């Protein structure tokens, strides 16, 4: 059965016949939110990673209907400071640590705006780091977590991650193409479309608001967010850590660090996979996610009362 989105329930514009998009006031900020599925079902929030020109659709659009069909209300926001969500101006001055707190709190506010008491979180890269922060400051809002190629391990950036961080030294389509191929193990994934994909992504990356948010996020005056062993030990949520064996952005030892220090975590290392497991190994990712999240309840007890204007 093909999953569809109820436009009356989500009150959004149809994106591709299945996924809707809308702007949501989440606390003090506006977020662009992509969604699919019945809003009365358990929620799963998919949080994308960082990078110049990245957005929720680039990470998750192909998977939103899959999770909807599995019995979830699937939500993928453009994280604050990315895509078509609000880009704070002036941008936060405290680099990645301050922006991570701001982004985590905006997603908690998004749950409030959508009437969701608790949700599963699936975070890729920076999205995993944000999900961990939400579990720290509002553990009652997080059910299970899937951390995929996740940030949060205290380690020096790899050379390939530095290409991402310093992209605006040469924000050209050619530089974007050189960056994109480092996210995957098998570059055949691009199937002759690399130049077009890179050109489209570079155009988005060179929007002034996107550039401003990227440079503020990776302000070199501040260290990246790294969770100590003691901090991770306090996060009790059941967690699945997925990591590509060939990940060049965040090496597999980052996944081991998280799995060893989160008290209720399990680790699965996927061979022949880089940083974009959800794209490069989509079927295996979905299989692992469904197995871990289990069968959703039809009517979750933690669903808050809906507001007609949400």
Positions annotated as catalytic residues are 275
- Burial (CB count within 10 angstroms: exposed 0-12, middle 13-18, buried 19+), residue 270: buried
Contacts of 30 (CB under 8 A, 6+ apart): 23, 24, 85, 86
Q: How far apart are CA 126 and CA 149, in angstroms?
A: 9
Asked whether 234 and 260 are in contact (CB, 8 A), the reply is no
What is the separation of C-alpha 173 from the centre of its chain, rounded to a whole number of angstroms? 24
**Burial of 170 from C-beta contacts in 10 A (0-12 / 13-18 / 19+):** exposed
Say how far apart CA 300 and CA 287 lie, in whole Å.
Answer: 23
| Rg of the chain, C-alpha, whole Å | 18
């Amino acid at each position: 059965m093909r999953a569809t989105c109820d436009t009356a329930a989500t009150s959004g514009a149809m994106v591709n016949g299945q996924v809707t998009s809308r702007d949501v006031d989440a606390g003090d900020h506006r977020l662009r939110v992509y969604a699919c599925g019945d809003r009365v079902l358990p929620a799963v929030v998919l949080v994308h990673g960082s990078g110049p020109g990245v957005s929720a659709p680039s990470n998750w659009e192909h998977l939103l209907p899959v999770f909807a069909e599995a019995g979830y209300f699937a939500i993928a926001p453009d994280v604050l400071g990315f895509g078509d969500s609000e880009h704070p101006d002036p941008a936060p001055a405290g680099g990645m640590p301050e922006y991570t707190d701001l982004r985590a709190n905006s997603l908690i506010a998004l749950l409030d705006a959508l009437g969701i008491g608790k949700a599963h979180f699936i975070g890729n890269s920076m999205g995993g780091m944000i999900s961990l922060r939400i579990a720290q400051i509002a553990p009652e809002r997080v059910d299970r977590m899937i951390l995929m190629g996740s940030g949060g391990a205290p380690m020096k950036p790899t050379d390939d991650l530095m290409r991402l961080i310093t992209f605006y030294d040469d924000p050209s389509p050619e530089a974007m193409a050189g960056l994109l191929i480092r996210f995957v193990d098998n570059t055949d994934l691009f199937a002759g479309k690399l130049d077009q994909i890179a050109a489209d992504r570079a155009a988005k990356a060179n929007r002034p608001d996107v550039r401003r948010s990227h440079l503020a996020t990776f302000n070199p005056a501040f260290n990246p967010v790294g969770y100590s062993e003691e901090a991770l030990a306090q996060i009790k949520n059941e967690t699945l850590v997925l990591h590509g064996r060939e990940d060049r952005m965040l090496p597999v030892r980052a996944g081991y660090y998280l799995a060893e220090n989160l008290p209720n975590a399990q680790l699965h290392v996927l061979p022949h996979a880089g940083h974009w497991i959800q794209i490069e190994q989509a079927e295996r990712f979905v299989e692992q996610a469904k197995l871990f999240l289990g069968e959703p309840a039809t009517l979750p007890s933690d669903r808050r009362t809906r507001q007609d204007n949400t």
